Chains A and B, each alone.
Chain A
Amino acid sequence: MNIVSTYTWCQFAPAFALVGLAALLILADALLPKLPKRLYAGIAALGAFVAAFFMTTGEYANLFGFIATVATGLSILLAFDYTKVCCESIAGNGNEEGTGEFYALPLVACAGILCLTQARDLVMLFVSLEVVTLTSYVLAGYFRRNQGSIEAGIKYLVLGAMSTGILVYGIAWYFGMVGSFTLSAETVYSALNGGVAGSPALAFGFLLATAMLFAGAFFKIGAAPMHVWIPDVYQGAPTPTTAFLAVASKAAGFVVLCSLILPYAPFATPGSLLGRILVTSIAIVAAATLLIGNLGAMRQTNLKRLLGYSSIGQAGFILVFFLQLQVSLEQNVYDYLLAYALATISAFFAVAMVRTQRGSEEIAAFRGLGKTNPRTAFLITVSFASLAGVPLTLGFIVKLKTFVTAVSAIQNWDNFCWLLVIMVLTAATGFYYYFKVLRSMYWEKPQPGVPALRVPLCTAIVLTLSATALIILGTLPLLMRF
């Protein structure tokens, strides 16, 4: 099959629109230096939300694309509230020179994610994945007057390029064994049986290629052996970029994983040896990811680093869905990502607000918020409660779904009881470290002489909306039942 005839131009219209908008904004930034940079942030965020609106239904309907565009829009809004720190860290002395691109580049990365959701072959998958990661490297290292940001950028670049190298080598071998870049159940079936000639060497080479492809996808979602970049990059990168990486880029990783793994779904039956190997290795990766993410988060004091470990842990829970390669896989992953995205984005808005006004990203900087800003403290509580999986929030419902999947996998495969034990333990540790923030807000006295936080407009709107959504979506299914 020809690569070009697989796609229509129309499929990529939202991506083209976003890239066009980003190009216009960058041009305007260069040609009209007098315009206030916050205007660009406003336009870029608006553009992302309009694109997201088109992706809800109709011709451009796109589940993961919707999450990614909304998250991009929100992280640009976050940069809008964060301009003070942006100006300090980019140009120095409060000058906003050179900050314009920081608001436009996330749109390009988002366009990459939109192409990724449409990818049906490995060339499209690779190129659009690179559009996302290359833009993310720039964004992670954008605060050039901030040591942490440069360090995060370089670490992300080296580890990311290494995973790209492994992924591309896997793609080369995939092509060598199969003769095309198409991802379909038929190609996988034929290659696993040794192709036309039925040679075991070919099947072995194909398995090697598969392993390398999965390694590349695991890097993006931060699964166990490839998670090392996450804590450092999340801590060092500018907060709006961290929010983007934590939500939009993670959604992109799960898109890649879904499109790589679904062709293997017909083999993932308890009868076949290959199916057993595949599902057992996913279970091992999920278990290791859960343990590393949740145990690592326990001893963190820096909230951005804690959220980094938390995102590893949450990816571990999402990986559990991949034990049952069924039709509802994408919907389940989407639901979990939605709950995670709402809660994580508002957590990052809170981090940015505290950083701008109290100059610190430590959990201790949240102390006494319950006394000084009770309403904001409540909204932050809802998002952390949802991340931990407290009942009556959306986080509880989606976490329940992972447990249901794990139990049905146990029945189906007659194995994996240990995974269920690990899931229960790590969910319990989640309560410990997410509630560290709540303890700091409610149990510790406010520092004398430190004024109450002034909540910026965008932060107030986003925190309120996401807390409302988390509670309504979390209680509605219970009400429907009775």
Chain B
Amino acid sequence: MIPLAHYLILSGILFTIGLAGVLVRKNIIVVFMCLEMMLCASSVALVAFSRAQGTAGVPVYDAQVLSLFITGIAAAEVAIGLALIVAMFRARRTVESTALNSLKD
């Protein structure tokens, strides 16, 4: 059986890649994928913890319920985000975050 630590390391790596991507990448669609990766990292951690916290092979289902909610919310976020990206592409003919420069001090 794979120990808990391995799952946590995987989820930590996913989370870090996601966070770094959000901060570094310029293409908003890639930024978006990185955001989803951050949510996936939490799902992995939750499911692993739900097994680890369980007794006698029965996981604590609360955590798995939350990971279902996360999936649902991530889907809603993608729907809104892609709509905004399409609107941005229509207005500016680009999806680079450097083009978002009309609001500043």
Q: Please tell me if the beta carbons of A158 and B31 are within 8 angstroms of each other in the complex.
A: yes
Neighbouring B residues of A305 by C-beta, 8 Å: 105
Chain A 148-192: CB-based contact to B (< 8 A → 1; otherwise 0): 101111110110011011101101110110011100000000000
CA distance A305 to B102 in the complex (A): 13
Q: Please tell me if the beta carbons of A3 and B103 are within 8 angstroms of each other in the complex.
A: no
Q: Please tell me if the beta carbons of A127 and B87 are within 8 angstroms of each other in the complex.
A: no
Smallest CB gap from A179: residue in B? B53
Number of cross-chain contacts by CB at 8 Å: 131
B41 to chain A minimum Cβ distance, whole angstroms, is: 6
B76 to chain A minimum Cβ distance, whole angstroms, is: 5
Q: Which of A151, A168, A299 contacts B100 (CB 8 A)?
A: A151
Q: Please tell me if the beta carbons of A165 and B39 are within 8 angstroms of each other in the complex.
A: yes
Contacts known (A123-B65, A148-B103, A181-B66); A161 close to B35, Cβ less than 8 A? yes
Q: Which of B22, B62, B102 contacts A3 (CB 8 A)?
A: B62
CA distance A155 to B77 in the complex (A): 14
B8 to chain A minimum Cβ distance, whole angstroms, is: 8
Chain B 63-105: CB-based contact to A (< 8 A → 1; otherwise 0): 1011001100100110011011101101110000100101111
Q: Please tell me if the beta carbons of B70 and A168 are within 8 angstroms of each other in the complex.
A: yes
Neighbouring A residues of B84 by C-beta, 8 Å: 137, 141, 150, 153-154, 157
A23 to chain B minimum Cβ distance, whole angstroms, is: 16
Helix, strand, loop or mixed for chain B's interface?
Answer: helix
- A232 within 8 Å of B (CB atoms): yes
Neighbouring A residues of B83 by C-beta, 8 Å: 141
Q: Please tell me if the beta carbons of A147 and B80 are within 8 angstroms of each other in the complex.
A: no
CA distance A179 to B81 in the complex (A): 33
Q: Please tell me if the beta carbons of B77 and A169 are within 8 angstroms of each other in the complex.
A: no
Smallest CB gap from A235: residue in B? B103
Neighbouring A residues of B11 by C-beta, 8 Å: 172
Q: CB within 8 Å of A: which of B1-52? A: 8, 11, 15, 18-19, 22, 28, 31-32, 35, 38-39, 41-42, 45-46, 48-50, 52
How many residues from A make CB contacts under 8 Å with B?
44
Sorting the interface of chain B by its residue count into under 10, 10 to 19, 20 to 34 or 35 or more gives 35 or more
Q: Please tell me if the beta carbons of A154 and B73 are within 8 angstroms of each other in the complex.
A: no
Smallest CB gap from B8: residue in A? A176
CA distance A236 to B104 in the complex (A): 10
B39 to chain A minimum Cβ distance, whole angstroms, is: 6
Q: Please tell me if the beta carbons of B103 and A134 are within 8 angstroms of each other in the complex.
A: no
Q: Please tell me if the beta carbons of B62 and A123 are within 8 angstroms of each other in the complex.
A: yes
CA distance A452 to B39 in the complex (A): 52
Contacts known (A150-B88, A175-B62, A176-B53); A165 close to B18, Cβ less than 8 A? yes
Q: Please tell me if the beta carbons of A127 and B69 are within 8 angstroms of each other in the complex.
A: yes
CA distance A181 to B69 in the complex (A): 14
Q: Please tell me if the beta carbons of B92 and A173 are within 8 angstroms of each other in the complex.
A: no
Contacts known (A153-B84, A154-B84); A162 close to B100, Cβ less than 8 A? no
Q: Please tell me if the beta carbons of A155 and B53 are within 8 angstroms of each other in the complex.
A: no
CA distance A137 to B41 in the complex (A): 23
Q: CB within 8 Å of B: which of A190-234? A: 231-232
CA distance A127 to B88 in the complex (A): 28
Neighbouring A residues of B103 by C-beta, 8 Å: 148, 151-152, 155, 231-232, 235-236
- A49 within 8 Å of B (CB atoms): no
- A138 within 8 Å of B (CB atoms): yes
- A444 within 8 Å of B (CB atoms): no
Smallest CB gap from B67: residue in A? A172
Interface core residue of B35, B60, B90, B104 (most chain A CB under 10 Å): B35
Neighbouring B residues of A158 by C-beta, 8 Å: 22, 28, 31-32, 35, 97
Q: Which of B15, B69, B87 contacts A169 (CB 8 A)?
A: B15
Q: A127-B73, A148-B103, A171-B66 are in contact. List 19 more A-B contacts (CB 8 A).
A: A123-B66, A123-B69, A137-B77, A137-B81, A150-B87, A155-B100, A155-B103, A161-B77, A162-B19, A164-B39, A164-B73, A164-B77, A165-B19, A169-B15, A169-B41, A173-B45, A180-B62, A231-B105, A299-B105
Q: Which positions in B face A, CB cutoff 8 Å?
A: 8, 11, 15, 18-19, 22, 28, 31-32, 35, 38-39, 41-42, 45-46, 48-50, 52-53, 60, 62-63, 65-66, 69-70, 73, 76-77, 80-81, 83-85, 87-88, 90-92, 97, 100, 102-105
8 contacts between A and B (CB under 8 A): A134-B80, A137-B81, A147-B91, A155-B100, A157-B81, A165-B15, A180-B60, A181-B62
